[in-house]
Structure 1
């Protein structure tokens, strides 16, 4: 599959063109220079041919962060097969742009000069000034108004091989959007889905609030995931700013994929990258670092929204903590998102190479005390920067996925429940005897257990916790939440 890189200075419309070509609001756009920082990759359908589209950060000089963004963007350009070099049609041609354009052109790549913001017919006169770049592949377009993009698409299409045409049988499995829905601005989109200011970010499990289903009368039926689902693990890397999430992603991939900088909040767009490890497909998502609500401003609002979207689609979370600094209340709030989304979890104590080794037991104890709601999550100490013990994390992810996806036979479940009942009987409720008839697992990822009984409300949370502990003693549920649902026998 051919790679198409969109290159240019900040604020020329690269991410807007990226969104237009992938037919989805995927990259965050704003008027703030440096919104895009990492290289974002998505498969796009150009008429009926597939290509990998790369949205790069703006080519600009400045601080350490902008220099690293430029370096990553140029690496993407050199690896690409086709380059869309974007400039702002409202300004004058820049000598630095021409110099870089000639350099990329000399490499023998297919390169087009895309002059954006040609919003009306009067603006077309400005296009002549850009012919001094010396290329015939010049396209004056307006991404915002979707003007004159057909010729650009045809040019790209001609550069893609016939072998990349989407086969008819595959096309049935791909949703091609014929008419784009009316698009909202990022501000309007965020305002629709932003949390209420008073929301504490947590959702608590309550069996009475769960939607009813009809499986409980049939003792041994369970919702199964197909092999492709189980073999594909989607892992979100979350944590507050500057704990080393991007460094961890790079270490897990074995290459520099995400921009790493001392500037807090370097990552804005969630960056996903997939590797194959021991026949399993691991998709890592480096999410934006989260701050306290009062400090979230500008494009970080959209980054927070995208992070929450990614967590909804993930199977597992790596909660990254900075072991060299005191833990904050914000760390607990962020970890609460894992509990909210019922994800498998590993707690990663990063920067262990600069932490105080003599405080090992003290640090581990503090983690367990602060994150009691993630008591099931194993802890790994490592250094993403030096790659210390990062290799162990891959195997730990596979082990946790097995636990998260396992199905416990009903007979074995009930043996454990019966032993638990013999040891501690259920307390009565208002003088009424509470009976558990049987337990059965009805879903995986995460494991969900139905407790079928005469008085579902009689299953007190303390006894539910007792059953949880007994099941964890009997089966390997390390790294995964274990959820209960109390129902009457035959209840639909």
Structure 2
């Protein structure tokens, strides 16, 4: 049983055996990136499957196993024994049409070594036009506790597999603890995965000098400051449009990770400075009301003159958003990485701020009297009332008798930042006129 008490099913197999297609078909979502080329998946990717009876189970997709792994697979294959020992059951996914017996034997040896096949369920995939009576006799030894014939792509034979998964699932745990969600985002090779691993204090994400090594969206639990976080490592978001469809989809997943995040760790390669794409990521984060924390990584590679130039450039770039926090670190050497946890603590405190309706109205009625908005199209708006309707992030609703100019909305935002000490976070102001 995994540490969060949800059973875990682990999918293992050769590259292009259909593991990612299978997990997507079972969870009815694009959990894993799929493609016609082998080794599209490069890290462990986990999705929680929820049945109609609300019972849940985790299904984890692993990269295809290689006898002679590429650089991007070496780190994953170092951890494969741990992944298998942590899992409750293992799905050994086999393409019924494969001729790579040597590769299957290598996986079989790993499985036999770790648990003697007692927790292995063999999934024969791509069986849409296959007579099960013609199964290659060499495959018989790979059959574990039980086996299934399916076609993940055509969604054939999944009913029995889903019934089996349901039998292993558990009732969803009711947790009263609120968990802050972090996402690490930035351009390729900025050091996102290195930062992810440094924060977790283990080599969870595959890292290399090759831009675009990370493709999958990887989620883990992080505990710092005696607080629990959900942290996501994402693929790089390049400026130029990728020709490769898989890389393009990976970038879309990275940007979409902002939708469910509270705080975005926007990682910038200090040796390259803040680019147009970095500014676009910051803008997208603010528009989603996700608080950005700008991380200038590889700071140790700059000399004094270069640091002064970058500081001056960043100050100019953030002129409209001076409230954005900035931290200079080296993720590889972990220098200054503790500053991130301190800043996260401050940001969380501000995200949790709740201001009473009476206090808000007292402040803003006084403000409206002393510094009323300019008339909009000949009519000056009056304040009816203001209220805060949520936290994480804080959201405020102003009910007015008419519209107000954009610059007065900015004035209200700055007033809230100064008066209520929300000077490091994103928050939403909704104008009802």
With structure 2 as the length reference, what TM-score do the two structures score?
0.85
Preserved contact between residue 252 and residue 391 of structure 1 (Cα < 8 Å): no
Per-residue deviation, residues 136-195 of structure 1 (Å, max 9, x unmatched): 75544322234445666677788x5xxxx534xx59x9xxxxxxxxxxxxxxxxxxxxxx
Work out whether residues 323 and 424 of structure 2, in 8 Å CA contact, stay in contact via their aligned partners in 1.
yes
Cα root mean square deviation, aligned: 3.2
Question: Could you say which residue in structure 2 is the equivalent of 1:184?
Answer: none
Question: What residue in structure 2 maps to residue 195 of structure 1?
Answer: none
CA distance in 2: counterparts of 1:469 and 1:133, whole angstroms: 65
Cα distance in 1 for residues equivalent to 2:394 and 2:56: 37
Counterpart Cα distance in 1 of 2:379 and 2:256: 45
C-alpha distance in 2, partners of 1:269/1:157? Answer: 26
Equivalent residue number for residue 395 of structure 1: 342
Of the three residues 51, 61, 64, the one matched with 1:55 is 61
Q: Could you say which residue in structure 2 is the equivalent of 1:166?
A: 170
Unaligned runs of 5+ in 1: 174-226
Q: Does 1:111 align with 2:111?
A: no
Superposition pairs for residues 83-482 of structure 1, below 5 Å? 83-109=90-116, 110-122=119-131, 124-131=133-140, 133=142, 137-149=146-158, 166-167=170-171, 170=172, 228=176, 231-278=178-225, 280-417=227-364, 420=367, 424-429=371-376, 433=380, 435-436=382-383, 438-454=385-401, 456-457=402-403, 459-482=404-427
Cα contact 1:451–1:486 (8 A) shared by 2: yes
Question: Contact 1:269 / 1:287 at 8 angstroms: preserved in 2?
Answer: yes
Cα pair distance change 1:296/1:288, threshold 3 Å:
farther
Distance 2:296 2:336 in 1: 11
- Residue pair 2:57, 2:170 contacting (<8 A) in 1 also: no
User: Gapped runs of 5+ residues in structure 2?
Assistant: 2-6
Q: Aligned partners of 1:358, 1:275: CA distance in 2, in Å?
A: 36
In structure 2, C-alpha distance between the alignment counterparts of 1:480 and 1:378, rounded to whole Å: 9
Sort the Cα spacing of 1:147 and 1:437 in 2 relative to 1 into closer, same or farther, 3 A: closer
CA contact (8 A) 1:57 1:73 kept: no
Shift of 1:350: 1.2
Alpha-carbon distance between aligned partners in 2 of 1:255 and 1:364, rounded to the nearest angstrom: 31
Q: CA deviation at 1:378?
A: 0.8
